[in-house]
Amino acid sequence: MDDYPLLNIFLTTMWIFLWILWFMLLFRVFGDLFRDDTVNGWGKAGWCVFLILLPFIGVFVYLIARGKGMGTRELARAKEAEAEFRTYVRDAAGAEAKPAGPTEELARLADLKRDGSITEEEYQRAKAIVLG
């Protein structure tokens, strides 16, 4: 342990962290590039060549040129995903909340009466409403 002082451990850890951060940024740029519908195929190919041949300069130029759009597109995707999720939950909850018909409702009432959750009088009133 004497051959590798604490400062060197810190610097090595910092360099590893920076490389991981760099790759995350590079993948984020590639992901945004391929999800963006405003750039045509040749534009995407050009950006890919630029990002592969000169990765550091390419990422920085991409962030300067299209960085604001990255945030806007990410926000739009998040809002769309949230809306789809809310619609799914609303539909799923609505489908389970409504009984399929009077037969299922009567069966549910009979189960409640058998369990003792409702009295005979409440059962008869609810049954009259269902059969209505």
Q: What is the pLDDT of residues 71-103, one digit of tens each?
A: 899 999 999 999 999 999 888 877 655 556 788
In one-letter notation, the amino acid at residue 109 is L
What string of DSSP letters covers 65-131? HHHHHHHHHHHHHHHHHHHHHHHHHHHHHHHHHS-SSHHHHHHHHHHHHHHTSS-HHHHHHHHHHHH
pLDDT at position 19: 94
Q: Shortest CA distance to 129 belongs to which of 87, 97, 99?
A: 99
In one-letter notation, the amino acid at residue 130 is V
68: confidence class by pLDDT, cuts 50, 70, 90 = confident
Average pLDDT, the chain: 88
Domain positions in the chain? 6-98, 100-132
- Is the separation of the CB atoms in 62 and 29 below 8 Å? yes
Report phi then psi at 42, rounded to 5. Answer: -65, -35
